[in-house]
Structure 1
Amino acid sequence: MTRIAIAGLQHETNTFAPDETTLSDFQRQGAWPALTRGADIFQVFDGLNIPIAGFIDTCDHDMIPILWAMAEPGGYVTDEAFDTITGEIVEGIVAARPDAAYLDLHGAMVTRRYPDAEAEILNRIRQAMGPDFPIAVSLDLHGNLSPAFFEAATVVTIYRTYPHTDFARTGARAAELLDRAMAAPLFGAYRQGNYLTPITAQTTEFSPAKDLYAALDTRGAVSLDLALGFPPADIPDCGPSIFAYAETQEAADAAADATAAHLAEVEPQFDARLLPAAEAVARAMATPGPVVIADPQDNPGAGGTGDTTGILRALIDAQAPDAVLSMLQDPETAAAAHAAGIGARIAVRLGGGHRQYSEPLEVDVIVETLSDGKFRCSGPSFGGSEADLGPIAGLRIAGTGIRVVVGTVRAQNLDQEFFRVAGIEPSEHSIICVKSAVHFMADYKRITQNILFAVAPGANPCDLPSLPFTRLRPGLRLDAA
């Protein structure tokens, strides 16, 4: 029987974020499973909407599980973390002596030493297993993929939705494509796009991204995928990339070229839909609720610190009568609330842990709820995934109708359970503020279509020309918000 080694290492690196991503960030559980080894992978990922789960469910071969690890998006991955985890994956593959390997990667991981970290992973496997060893990879839609990565992979599949609802399906497609490639050689084609757009403009909920992805299956390839890139990464291969596989080189080239032409054609149509925070709050207050206000520039899922207070200040300044916000990372305030107990009124310095983006709010708060931060997501993207975000408190800013969920572990609000863990039912409130860019839409659009994207300072700037890039390849255009 054919034997397939399976492993995963995921990180989306924002090279402008202030805090490095360390080995402990991969080892602990947050909104994703903790680092998992060996046969535990089959149990931990059973039934989850995660790429490796889709691969496992689809693969008909004998699978040898090595390791899976992910950390919340953030700053540079330390070389220690990268070398430790990658070394264990490569050693596990070598020891298993499989016929092929599947890797559940992200595509936008960066270390100080390796700006093209995923290509480095594949190169290390190739050095150990040889140039003809089949390697299938599934990737995030926000991957920044290089020609070297394309050359090192046998086949690649990429998410086609943003918010990502097809995690498992992408892993399943990787299993199917690997089978196809092992049965008979496939020809590949790779193209890079020449512009980069803010992540809020990339959502497949709207055109033109919606149209780009709908067209992929119409172009005659065995497999055709598009990554739109992750903008806040100062590396040469930041930006869109296209992967086509077909039974002939001509067919692969034709599919890749058609997609590249489509991508070039729709550049003017991308719209980040951003509003100044004060304007977003004013619009929300004038609209029958509930209205969701996203805070994309402090999205932990893009490397945001999760602790900025810009949106909260706008709510307070506007005297919003009924608003909720989750999740504000503030371990000190969460600990103080737990020490004080439910019903206590305490003076706090709320948020603002990174002063380059915002100052703390010096306010009195009423402790309304307390939680250990453990919950299970229930939305369409992450339903079934267990989260452990440490001590959480549901607070009301005294003298207002503004409530904030304060947490210990930084995480993107991508599921309504990020409110419910603190006893707040989001649909019952007029204004719902989320520290997220797009992923929240998969769950929150089930309660409202009124969604706004607000601009407040954070580590994920959506005005791309304002970022101090120094390493981008020549000719890459940066579309403004």
Structure 2
Amino acid sequence: GEGEIARQVRALVGPDVPIAAALDLHGNISEEFVNTVDVLAGFRTYPHIDMADTGAAAARLLDHVMQTGTRPAKAFRRMSYLVPIPFQTTDMQPAKGLYENLTEVEAQGALSASLFMGFPAADIADCGPTAVAYAETQAAADAAADAVADAYAAAESEFDNDTFTPDAAVAYAARAAKGAGQGPVVIADTQDNPGAGGVSATTGMLRALIDADAQDAAIGLIVDPHSAAQAHELGEGARAVFRIGGHPGLPDDSPVEVEAVVEMLSEGKVKAIGPYYGGTMLDLGPSACLRIGGVRVAVSTRIAQMADREMFRFVGIAPEMQKILVVKSSTHFRADFTPSAREIIVARAPGPMPFDPADLPFTRLREGLRLSPNGPVFGAARAAAARPDTGGSTGGVQI
């Protein structure tokens, strides 16, 4: 989309007016886009808490162009493998080091260097990681882009981090919560992250909590307008059977039918004050806290990624006081939850958005791109197998 916007802007203003852009770290950047704009800067944090800083960086590059009257030399590189969304986080290695390295690359002579990790769930030829660098000379720009690309290539094996099944995640969290330290063990329910195509309603992690008789545990948000309305009709303190969550597009993800207590009701007006939302007012609609034994469920009417502790507090759940927290998010929650978390782990409960890009039915990627670190390579045979008209997948991913 941004590529088409840039094309139309260039057509409107002509070749002499400089164009600057600031883009998400997850940008799938085309060479055409880089050639169309004069300068480009990318986010350096995931969770994304540096949007304003990135806009300022793009403005400084634009100012340089306007002050000098010349366009800097530019260099663009494509890299060879995709990375699962949760492990792109700049809070942990190796992404943390890759983004810290950009400052060093700029200190070595580049005006600007950006690493775009790409957003894997995009079946387009331009999907994937890229490096973009600007400098006073073409040699310096090429050296900077090569340095970013080489560092990314060298980090491939370091991206192999652990994930858990739902039951294993809850069992691990329960054990860890008994150890030294304070705060909850936070479990990212990554395959139902509404920031990447999830519905924030799947029940795999909720079932695992209930089956384990977890205590001092909470999960949110479960987007379920019917359960929220039922809770409001019954009132606080009521006990009733609810059918919570469920995603009809997934096998065996039926609602959890269970008796629960309505602990607290809310109209869903939330000021999300953490670093990611930054004071944004959210309207989650009629919402409730439903308690099932030692498990509390934050149920809402409207969808939003669980990336702020206020999204538990608004229904009376104190996140810092829990032993286990399950969040419908992949990474953005880290900005607000990390300071109070004992530990953070990633679970792969069934969900609409696969953790591993290799599980997606790609048909249009560029030949030779590895679909995960040290993983399978995309090619014509894989594309043909994914097309419905060749007897392959219908595009529905079962996990």
TM-score clears 0.5: yes
Q: State the one-letter code of the partner of 2:240.
A: I
Paired-residue identity, %? 52
Q: 1:188 aligns with which of 54, 74, 84?
A: 74
TM-score by length of 1: 0.73
TM-score, length-scaled by structure 2 = 0.88
Counterpart of 1:351 in structure 2 is: 245
Aligned counterpart, 2:90: 204
Deviations 1:203-247 (A, max 9, x none): 111111111111112122111011101111111111101111111
Which residue of structure 1 aligns with residue 124 of structure 2? 235
**Distance in 1, Cα, partners of 2:258 & 2:16:** 62
| Number of equivalent positions | 363
Would you say 1:299 and 2:193 are equivalent positions? yes
On the 8 A contact 1:140/1:159 being kept in 2, the answer is: yes
Q: Which residue of 1 aligns with 2:144?
A: 255
Matched ranges for 1:91-110 at <5 A: none
1:103 corresponds in structure 2 to: none
Q: Secondary structure at the match of 1:343?
A: coil
Aligned position for 2:3:
119
Among candidates 344, 350, 361, match of residue 451 of structure 1:
344
Alignment match, 1:314 = 208
Quote how far apart the aligned CAs of 1:466 are. 1.8
Counterpart of 2:338 in structure 1: which amino acid?
K
Deviation at 1:320, TM superposition (A): 0.7
- Partners of 2:359 and 2:275 in 1: CA distance: 34
Q: CA deviation at 1:383?
A: 2.5
Q: Secondary structure at the match of 1:230?
A: coil
* Contact in 1 for aligned 2:164/2:348 (Cα 8 Å): yes
1:340 is displaced (CA, Å) by: 1.8
Partner of 1:472: 365
DSSP 3-state at the match of 1:282 = helix
Q: How does 1:141-152 map to 2 (within 5 A)?
A: 141-152=25-36
Change in 2 beyond 3 A, CA 1:182/1:337: same
Which of 133, 136, 142 is residue 17 of structure 2 equivalent to? 133
2:38 to 126, 147, 154: 154
C-alpha separation in 1, matches of 2:223 and 2:32: 38
CA RMSD of aligned residues (A): 1.4
Secondary structure of the corresponding residue to residue 195 of structure 1 = coil
Question: Contact 1:307–1:354 (CA<8 Å) still a contact in 2?
Answer: no
Return the offset for 1:380: 2.3
In the alignment, is residue 276 of structure 1 matched against residue 165 of structure 2?
yes
Task: Name the counterpart of 2:275.
Answer: 380
Match of 2:387 in 1: none
In the other structure, the counterpart of 2:100 is: 214
Give 2:230's match in structure 1, choosing from 336, 352, 365. 336
The CA deviation string for residues 316-341 of structure 1, in whole angstroms up to 9 with x for no partner, is 11111221011111111112212221
Q: How does 1:11-30 map to 2 (within 5 A)?
A: none
5+ long unaligned stretches in structure 1: 1-116
2:297 alignment partner AA: V
- CA offset at residue 286 of structure 1? 0.9
Rounded Cα–Cα distance in structure 2 between residues aligned with 1:157 and 1:314: 42
2:22 and 2:162 map into 1 onto residues whose CA distance is 29
Cα distance in 2 between the residues matched to 1:133 and 1:348: 60
Name the CA distance, whole Å, in 2 between partners of 1:326 and 1:135.
Answer: 41
8 A Cα contact 2:250 2:352, kept in partner: no
Superposed CA deviations along residues 230-281 of structure 1, whole A, max 9, x for unmatched, are 1111111111011111111111111001111111111111134311111110
1:325 equivalent among 210, 219, 230: 219
- 2:34 is aligned with what amino acid? F
> In structure 1, how many angstroms separate the alpha carbons of the residues matched to 2:206 and 2:47?
25
Moved more, 293-302 or 129-138: 129-138
**Is 1:163 aligned to residue 51 of structure 2?**
no
| Distance apart, 1:283 and its partner CA | 0.6
Matched, 1:363 2:258: yes
What are the Cα deviations for residues 28-59 of structure 1, in whole angstroms up to 9, with x where unaligned? xxxxxxxxxxxxxxxxxxxxxxxxxxxxxxxx
Q: Render the CA deviation track for 1:104-124: whole Å, top value 9, x for unaligned.
A: xxxxxxxxxxxxx21111112
